Structure 1
Amino acid sequence: MRKFILLSVMAFSLGSLTACDGRHSTSEVKTEIESNGVTTVKTKTDENGVKTESGLELSHYAVRAALGQNPNTGGYVTVRNIGKDDDRLVSVTCDCAEKVELHTMKMDGDKMMMAPMPEGFEIKAGQTLELKPGSNHIMFIGLKTRPADGDTLSLTLNFAKAGAVKIEAPVSNAPLSDASQHSGH
C-alpha cells in the first residue's frame, strides 16, 4: 500500500488587512501533498470577493548530473494544471547555481537554438507543460555545487497563482529514464 506523505498543509487566513482604504481582505488555503513522486498543489484564494482556484500536479522531476567541467546543467518537470484557472510557471530557484532560468528550445534551420523565457510558461486549465531533455527546460547556470548521479536537489518552482512549490528533484546521468520516474520502489 502506498503511503501519502503530507509535505505541508497550510491553511491560513490573513483576515482583514488594512490597505489605504481599510477594505482590503485576503484569505488563502494552500495544500501540498507528495505521493509516489507526484506533488499535488491546490490553492484557493479570495481577495476582495475575487475567487481563484488553482491546482497543479508536478511529476517527472529530475536534474541532469553535471557533465565534465560544464558550468551548467538542465532540469525537468511535468506540470499538469488540474485547476479551474490558468497559471504560469514564472521562475525556479535553487541554491546550487548562480542563476536559474526557464529556457525554450527550437529549431532555426538545422540548428537547435536555446533562449531564456523571462516571462515563464503559461499552463492553461486542463493542459500540461512538459519541461524535458531536448525541449523546454530549466537551466542551472554557473553551478556552485556539482550535482552528481544519486544526489537530490531542492528546487522551488514559483507560479503566478499557486505560489512557491518546493520539490526534491533526483539527480541522474540519464534524467527521466525509468530509474528517475519516481516509481516509489
Structure 2
Amino acid sequence: MRHFFPTFAASVLILAANSALAHDYRAGDIEIGHPWTRATPPMAKVGGGYLELTNTGSVSDRILGGKSPVAGRVEIHNMEMTDGIMKMRPVPEGVEIPVGETVQLAPGGYHLMLLDLKQPIAAGDMVQVTLEFEHAGTIDVELAAGPIGSTATGHGDAASSSHEGHE
C-alpha cells in the first residue's frame, strides 16, 4: 500500500500529460498547436476552425485548406477591415508559413472555414479535419469545440462572438 499511492499518482500525471499533448500535432516541419472551434447554432451551415502553425523547417510552407466529414468543404478565409467594414473572403492560395515563424489562424483574421456543415457542432465535440499543406502533405487533427462565442481559452467574449458561426 505504501507504494500504491506514488505509483497511482505517477500514472495520473502521465495520463494528464498525454491528454494535454493530444491537441498538438506535427506534419513534416509544421507544428500544429491548439486546434479549436466553436459550437454552432442548430441551423448554421458554416463554422470556423482556429489553430497555430509553426514552421521549424528550412523551407516556407503553406496551408491550403482541408476536408472534414462534418463539412462539404474546408477552405482558408480571411477577415479584414476595409473602409470601416469587416469583410470575409476566401484565400484559395492559402496562407504562407515562413521559416522559423508562427502563424495564427484565429477569429478576426485568417481561419479555417467549414462550409456546408452536415450537422451542428456542439460544445464538447471533437471535430475531425484533415489539413492540407503545400510541402508537409496532409494530417488529421481534431478541433476541440467550445461553446458558441468562446475564445481559444474557452471563455465567452463579446468580440469573438460578433460573427459567431460565420468565421
Q: Would you call these one fold, judging by a TM-score over 0.5?
A: yes
Could you report, residue by residue, the CA deviation over 1:72-95 in whole angstroms, capped at 9, with x for unpaired residues? 111111000011111110111111
State yes or no: 1:136 paired with 2:117. no
- Which structure: greater strand fraction? 1
Q: Which runs of 4+ in 1 moved over 3 A?
A: 1-5
Distance 1:175 1:144 in 2: 23
Q: Any gaps of 5 or more consecutive residues in structure 1?
A: 6-33, 43-54, 180-185
The aligned counterpart of 2:90 is 116
1:47-93 alpha-carbon deviations (Å, 9 max, x no partner)? xxxxxxxx111012111111252211111110000111111101111
Measure how far apart 1:2 and its partner are. Answer: 4.3
Which has the bigger relative contact order, CA under 8 A and spacing at least 6? 2
Give the percent of matched residue pairs that are identical in Structure 1 and Structure 2: 31
Q: Distance in 2 between matches of 1:135 and 1:166?
A: 23
- Letter aligned with residue 152 of structure 2: L
Distance 1:144 1:36, change over 3 A: closer
Partners of 2:14 and 2:60 in 1: how far apart? 31
Structure 1 Cα separation of the partners of residues 33 and 14 of structure 2: 16
Count of residue pairs brought into register by the alignment: 139
Give matches, 1:41-80, under 5 Å.
41-42=27-28, 55-80=29-54
1:2-21 aligned at under 5 Å gives the runs 2=14
Q: Gaps (5+ residues) in structure 2? A: 1-12, 156-167
Whether 2:75 is the aligned partner of 1:89: answer: no
SS in 2 for 1:158: strand
In the TM superposition, 1:15-30 aligns within 5 A as none
Contact 2:65/2:112 (8 A) holds in 1: no
- Match among 38, 60, 66 for residue 24 of structure 2: 38
Residue 52 of structure 1 corresponds to none
2:149 pairs with 1:176: no
More helix by share: 2
Change (3 A) 1:41 1:99: closer
CA distance in 1, matches of 2:26, 2:105: 17
Task: Give the structure-2-normalised TM-score.
Answer: 0.76
Equivalent-residue separation in structure 2 for 1:166 and 1:2 (angstroms)? 24
What value does the CA root-mean-square deviation take over the aligned residues?
Answer: 1.9
- For 2:14 and 2:30, the matched residues in 1 are separated by 21
| Matched letter for residue 98 of structure 1 | G
Residue type of the alignment partner of 2:91: M
Partner-residue secondary structure (3-state), 2:93: coil
Residues 106 and 135, structure 1, Cα contact 8 Å, conserved in 2:
yes
